[in-house]
Structure 1
Amino acid sequence: MTQEEAAMVEEMKQIVGGDCFGPVPEETIAAAEQELGLPLPRSYRAFLRHFGAAIIGGYEIQGLPNTRNTDEEMAFWSHVVDTSRIMWDGYGGNGMPRHLVYVTDDGGGTQYYLDTSRMDDAGECPVVAFGNVKEQGGVKASNFFEFMKQLDAEDQRYQEWKSVHGEPKPEGYD
Structure 2
Amino acid sequence: MMNAVEASERLIELVHENDDIANHAEGCDAETMTAAERDLGVEFPLSYRRLIEEFGTWDVAGEEFLGVYQTPAMGQKLLGSVAETLDARSQYGMPSDLIVTMFDGMGGLVVLDASQADPEGEYPVLVWNPGVSDREGMERLGRNFGSFAFDLCQRAVARWRESG
Is TM more than 0.5 here? yes
- Paired residue for 2:87? 86
Indicate whether 1:141 and 2:139 are aligned: no
Q: Distance in 1 between matches of 2:145 and 2:49?
A: 10
For 2:80 and 2:64, locate their aligned partners in 1 and report how far apart those are by CA, in whole Å.
11
Indicate the percent of aligned positions where both proteins have the same amino acid: 26
Identify the residue that residue 15 of structure 2 maps to in structure 1. 16
Could you tell me which amino acid in structure 2 is paired with residue 54 of structure 1?
W
The one-letter amino acid paired with 1:138 is: E
SS at match of 2:69: coil
Closer, same or farther: CA 156–122 of 1 in aligned 2, 3 Å: same
More relative contact order, 1 or 2 (CA 8 Å, 6+ apart): 2
Question: Contact 2:85 / 2:99 at 8 angstroms: preserved in 1?
Answer: yes
Residue 158 of structure 1: how far off its partner (Å): 2.8
- In structure 2, the partner of 1:168 is none
Q: Structure 2 vs 1, CA of residues 5 and 109 (structure 1 numbering), >3 Å: closer, same or farther?
A: closer
| Residue correspondence of structure 1 range 24-173 to structure 2 within 5 A | 24-67=28-71, 71=74, 78-90=79-91, 94-131=92-129, 136-159=137-160, 162-163=163-164
Q: Secondary structure at the match of 2:68?
A: coil
Q: Which has the larger radius of gyration?
A: 1
1:7 is displaced (CA, Å) by 4.7
Give the corresponding residue for 1:167.
none
Change (3 A) 1:57 1:118: farther
Pairs aligned (count)? 151
Alpha-carbon distance change, 24 to 11 in structure 1, aligned in 2, over 3 angstroms: same
Any unmatched runs of 5+ in structure 2?
131-135
- Say whether the 8 Å CA contact 2:109–2:127 is kept in structure 1: yes
Alpha-carbon distance in structure 1 between the residues aligned to 2:161 and 2:52: 29
Measured in 2, the distance between the counterparts of 1:118 and 1:59 equals 25
TM-score of the superposed pair, with normalisation by structure 2: 0.77
SS, match of residue 85 in structure 1: helix
Closer/same/farther in 2, CA of residues 150 and 99 from structure 1, 3 Å limit: same
**Greater helix share, structure number:** 2
Question: Structure 1 stretches of 5 or more lacking a match?
Answer: 164-174
